[in-house]
Each structure stands twice: as structure tokens, then as C-alpha cells.
Structure 1
Amino acid sequence: MFDQVFDLPLHPLVVHAAVVFIPLAGLLGVLLVVPRTRSWARLPLLLVSLAAAASAFVARESGQSLLIAISATAPPEELRVAAEHEQDGDRLFYITVAYALVAVIAYIVSAPGKTLYRGALGIVLSVLLVLGAGALIVQSVIAGHSGATAVWNHDGTIDYST
């Protein structure tokens, strides 16, 4: 199911959705913390964080299918780097799902007219959203870098600095 679309591997196609939705979810979470933008960011955070979790899931599943497909013919060094990328992608998936759960809770408690977002709950959610946004961005960069290395420079012989 997560192998191919139009005879192309699904993973490199769906990764682009994750690359857009995951950092955008982090940005919207930070905007929800700011009182002035809270009412504006509330619904987009919910929708984008759920889209980020869905795209991370499909990217993860399609990446596992791609790794299985190439494992019979890829050189050992390429498989090692691809397995490292898979671990980075798994971490990103779990962080994204956790962030989406926090976003759902924040959406519920920050409804207009409710005062639930104030006090200790508001502080905890704000801290989780900001720290989670940082974790999303950092882990996206780590997973993206290891994926790019797996594709373009798995043996480390190419020097891009010149």
C-alpha cells in the first residue's frame, strides 16, 4: 500500500508534505502561545498538526517499504545510512504525533470564551508547544540530512564544499 504511486517510490513524494506540515505545525504552536495571535492560530494549528502527523505516518511507512525494496541490491554502506535515516524518521514520527496530541488539547482548552488556557494548564501547554516546536524543527533537519546523505552521499566521498 505504501510502496509506489504511478510506478514511482511513494517515499520521496510524500516526504515533501511532511517537510511543509511539520515545521508549519511548530510555527503555529508558537503563534498559539502568543495571546494576540491565539484566536487566529487555534484552528490552523489543529488542522496542520494533524496533517503533519498523517504525513509523518505515510512517510514512515513508505520509507520502510522503500528500505525493504532496496535491501536486496544496495551496498552495505548505503543500507547502514538508510537504516540511520529510518531511525531518525521514526523519532520524528513519534515527536510529531505527541505534538499533534498537545495541539488537540490546546485547541480544546483555548476555545473562545473559555478560561481554561489560563493558569497552570496554560503554562504547561505553552511550554510543551514551544519546546515541541523546537523538537519538530531540529528532528526534521536531522532526518532530512540523514535522508539526503543516504541518497546522494552514502559513502561520504563527495565533498560539496568546493
Structure 2
Amino acid sequence: MTTTMFDQIFGLPVHALVVHAAVIFAPLLAALAIAYAVLPRVRHRLDWALVATALAALVSVFAAKESGERLEHRMFQGGAPEAIEVHSGLAEILLPVTALLTVVALALVWLTRARRAPGGTGPRAAVLVASAVVVILAVAVGYYAVRTGHTGATAVWGA
């Protein structure tokens, strides 16, 4: 088997190292995105925190999913236990939902910054719609991050 960048680092599975970043950044993104969407008065303080967290969450969830697939292949070579399959299936959902939240959250930051700029006018309706979509996606990211993490921990450490 060839080693890829998502397989091992110094003999350790990459998944065991990067999964912790996903477990931290995905729920943090969900919380920050909801705060940004529903608390207009604090948006100016959260702009860059939301942007940085969104990008960190997306990269870490992607790395965790890819490295998890490599670890699954290395350990089970196509015959993974059901608990691992459930965990993997949830990760398959978490990644695109995180990507969607990242895109919409970045768009919301851009829209709100454009409205705050001197002479800035922007469609208030677009901010409201983007805020609603952000809240829905953030709830989904939070749910799938917790479920994916829990099923992975249960698969490794038992009930």
C-alpha cells in the first residue's frame, strides 16, 4: 500500500491527529455562525473570527474525512465493522454541509460588511435570507459534528 498525505505521519495515523481539529472547529463554526446571524450588534467584532473559523473548520473536516477513509482502508481493507460504516457515512454528510455553511457564512460576512461600509447600501433582504440559511446550516453542522464524533469515539472506545 502506498502512503499518501492523509495516511500516516511519523507512523501515526493522520486521522488520530487531525480529527481533534474537526471536533473543535466544526461546532465552533456552528456557534459563531449562529451568533453572527442572530446578533447584528456584535457582527463587527466577529467578522474575522467567523471567516478564520469557517476556513479552519472546512479544512479540518476535509482532512479528517480523507484521513479517516485512509485509516479505514488500511485497517479493514473493505470489511469495516458496522460502527465504522455509520461513522464514515455521517462524515460523508458533515463535509458538504460544512462546505455549504462556510460559503454562506462568508457571503453573509461580505454582505454585512458591504452594508456597513461608508455609503454602503446592500439588500437588507439578502442579509436576512443569508442569516436564516446560516442558522439552518449551522444547526446541521453542529448535529452532524456531534453525531460523527460520537459514533467515531464509540467505535474506537466502546459504549
Tell me whether the two structures share a fold, i.e. TM-score over 0.5: yes
Of 43-52 and 106-115, deviating more is 106-115
Give distance in 1, aligned partners of 2:27 and 2:149.
Answer: 12
Native 8 Å contact 1:18 1:55 kept in 2: yes
Give distance in 2, aligned partners of 1:89 and 1:101.
Answer: 18
Q: CA deviation at 1:125?
A: 0.9
1:1-162 matches, within 5 Å, as: 1-33=5-37, 34-72=39-77, 79-111=81-113, 112-113=116-117, 114-116=120-122, 119-153=124-158
Of 97-106 and 27-36, deviating more is 27-36
Name the aligned partner's letter for residue 150 of structure 1. Answer: A
- Which stretches of structure 1, 4 residues or more, deviate above 2 A after TM superposition? none
Structure 2 residue runs without a partner (length 5+): none
Name the aligned partner's letter for residue 146 of structure 1. Answer: T
Native 8 Å contact 1:42 1:110 kept in 2: no
- The CA deviation string for residues 106-147 of structure 1, in whole angstroms up to 9 with x for no partner, is 12111132332x522111111111112211111111101110
Aligned CA RMSD, in angstroms, stands at 1.6
Give distance in 2, aligned partners of 1:115 and 1:31.
Answer: 23
**TM-score using structure 2 length:** 0.87
Structure 1 residue runs without a partner (length 5+): none
User: Matched residue of 2:81: which SS?
Assistant: helix
**TM-score using structure 1 length:** 0.86
Native 8 Å contact 1:85 1:146 kept in 2: yes
Give distance in 2, aligned partners of 1:103 and 1:119.
Answer: 16
User: Matched residue of 1:110: which SS?
Assistant: helix
Size of the aligned set, in residue pairs, is: 150
Q: CA deviation at 1:44?
A: 1.1
